[in-house]
Amino acid sequence: MKHIVLLSIIVIVYSEKYINILGDNPPNFTELAANYGHQALEYDVITEDGYILRLFRIKGEREMPVLLMHGILDSADTWVLRGNESLAITLANKDYDVWLGNCRGNKYGRRHIYLDPDNNTFWDYTFHEHGYYDLPATIDNILFITNASKLNAIGHSQGTTIFYVLGSTRHEYNNKINVLIALAPVCFLENMEPPLKTMIQYSPMIYLTANMLDIKEIFGTNQNVINTICQQPIINSICVTNTIFPITGEDSDELEDIPILYEHFPTATSVKNLYHFSQVSYKRQFANFDYGVKLNLDKYGSPTPSVYQLDKITMKISLFVGINDNISTLDNVAMLKQSLPNVINYMIIPHTKMNHIDFVWGLPISTA
């Protein structure tokens, strides 16, 4: 069984590289927002290391901007997929100045001042670079354009991880964030359940194999295999039940599913990024990417990668966690809460089926 899982992963990832399934382009963020009565603005953000990221904004009258950062394999689209009930539209309707960032690699982050996404060097990044380069560039642009001195931030999953990287490695940014609202926070990943646990156990081998096959990116083409197959009406719920729930925690109420989900999810990230998260889990340490002793010495000048100093993160953080979340488990988030110096709020959502993705794609709790 385990071997079949492993084999399927390799086959899917490998075929991705060669099959560019043709499909109509789904509506982009701006077009989605327009469907719900809001005109979005688009900006380009250039990171210190040359990536060009699309930043969206639904302009509102309130003074302090609010920045929404998506999770792994995801994009700004995620915040509008529930239409009028989604977080971005809800905030916009309340007249917040809503900004939606994108990390390098995803469908809105595939440009660079000289690197081509077909060049493997483009994919040499993990959540470390999202936190160290993508976030500062995004934040600085927002503060520059709005002339605000601080912003509020809301992150989901990896969209919270990158703030811990930022706050611990670039201390001055703590002062630019009024509060981070962390939804399904991801930092420590020690307490995992199968099948994710199994995938993590196999990850060194999968990473090695992917490298041998020269696979650096996953879910890259605009309409990739998963997008195309899982968009089909009946298959849609089979995909949710068999690929998403086993990883995120089961919530069958959600099977009143989002028909357009697979037009937008998943979108690309680097294989190295997935492996970095896996390292955090099996090495039981929230640290920079581990290349092995010899390469670590070359890259970092030390045999081991540096551990992120969470006690340096002085920004205010509000943690929100789901009881049924199999990634940001209560135990994992409890470890994070203990390590952060400035947690102002910790809330377990009062809904027994609250899983990892309900924070962005779930139905309003009153009806679920």
Ligand X SMILES: *[C@@H]1O[C@H](CO)[C@@H](O)[C@H](O)[C@H]1NC(C)=O
Residues annotated as part of the active site: 157, 325, 356
Of 23-31, 154-162, 221-229, 330-338: span binding ligand X (CB under 6 A): 23-31
Q: State yes or no: residue 352 binds ligand X (CB under 6 A).
A: no
Cβ 97 to ligand X shortest distance, Å:
14
Interface pattern 132-151 for ligand X (x via CB under 6 A): ---------------x-x--
Give the residue among 157, 158, 87, 94 at the shortest CA–CA distance from 361.
87
- Count of residues that bind ligand X according to CB under 6 A: 22
Cβ 178 to ligand X shortest distance, Å:
14
Q: State yes or no: residue 115 binds ligand X (CB under 6 A).
A: yes
**Residues paired with residue 295 on neighbouring β-strands, in sequence order:** none
Q: State yes or no: residue 119 binds ligand X (CB under 6 A).
A: yes
Q: For 336, how many CA atoms within 13 A lie in the half-sphere containing its CB?
A: 31
Cβ 34 to ligand X shortest distance, Å:
8
Q: Where are the beta strands (DSSP E) in the chain?
A: 41-46, 51-58, 66-69, 98-100, 111-112, 151-156, 177-183, 217-218, 269-270, 317-321, 343-348
The bridge status of strand 343-348 relative to strand 317-321 is: parallel
Cβ 83 to ligand X shortest distance, Å:
5
Q: State yes or no: residue 193 binds ligand X (CB under 6 A).
A: yes
Q: State yes or no: residue 159 binds ligand X (CB under 6 A).
A: no
Interacting residue with ligand X among 7, 39, 44, 83 (CB under 6 A) = 83
Instruction: Measure the CA angle with vertex 76, ends 20 and 126; round to 5°.
Output: 70
- Report whether 42 contacts 56 (CB < 8 A): yes
User: Using CA atoms, how far apart are residues 94 and 312, in angstroms rounded to an integer?
Assistant: 33
Name the residue with tokens 């709005």.
146
Amino acid at 13: V
Of 25-33, 200-208, 258-266, 356-364: span binding ligand X (CB under 6 A): 25-33
Of 28-36, 68-76, 159-167, 182-190: span binding ligand X (CB under 6 A): 28-36
10: which 2 tokens?
């390799």
Phi/psi for 240 (5° steps) reads -60, -45
User: Using CA atoms, how far apart are residues 128 and 273, in angstroms rounded to an integer?
Assistant: 9
Interacting residue with ligand X among 23, 26, 30, 50 (CB under 6 A) = 30
Cβ 31 to ligand X shortest distance, Å:
5
Of the two residues 24 and 301, which places its CB atom closer to ligand X in the complex?
A: 24
Collapse the DSSP code of 72 into the 3-class scheme (helix H, G, I; strand E, B; otherwise coil) and give the result: coil
Q: State yes or no: residue 121 binds ligand X (CB under 6 A).
A: yes
Of the two residues 116 and 311, which places its CB atom closer to ligand X in the complex?
A: 116
Interacting residue with ligand X among 159, 220, 249, 266 (CB under 6 A) = 249
The bridge status of strand 51-58 relative to strand 41-46 is: antiparallel
Q: State yes or no: residue 252 binds ligand X (CB under 6 A).
A: no
Interface pattern 85-114 for ligand X (x via CB under 6 A): -----------------------x-----x
User: Using CA atoms, how far apart are residues 9 and 243, in angstroms rounded to an integer?
Assistant: 12
Q: State yes or no: residue 246 binds ligand X (CB under 6 A).
A: yes
The bridge status of strand 217-218 relative to strand 269-270 is: antiparallel
Collapse the DSSP code of 154 into the 3-class scheme (helix H, G, I; strand E, B; otherwise coil) and give the result: strand
User: Using CA atoms, how far apart are residues 298 and 295, in angstroms rounded to an integer?
Assistant: 5
Q: State yes or no: residue 243 binds ligand X (CB under 6 A).
A: no
Distance of CA 238 to the CA centre of its chain: 23
Cβ 364 to ligand X shortest distance, Å:
13
Amino acid at 280: V
Collapse the DSSP code of 181 into the 3-class scheme (helix H, G, I; strand E, B; otherwise coil) and give the result: strand
Interacting residue with ligand X among 43, 250, 253, 368 (CB under 6 A) = 250
Residues that bind ligand X (CB under 6 A): 28, 30-31, 36-37, 42, 54, 83-84, 108, 114-115, 119, 121, 147, 149, 193, 245-246, 249-250, 326
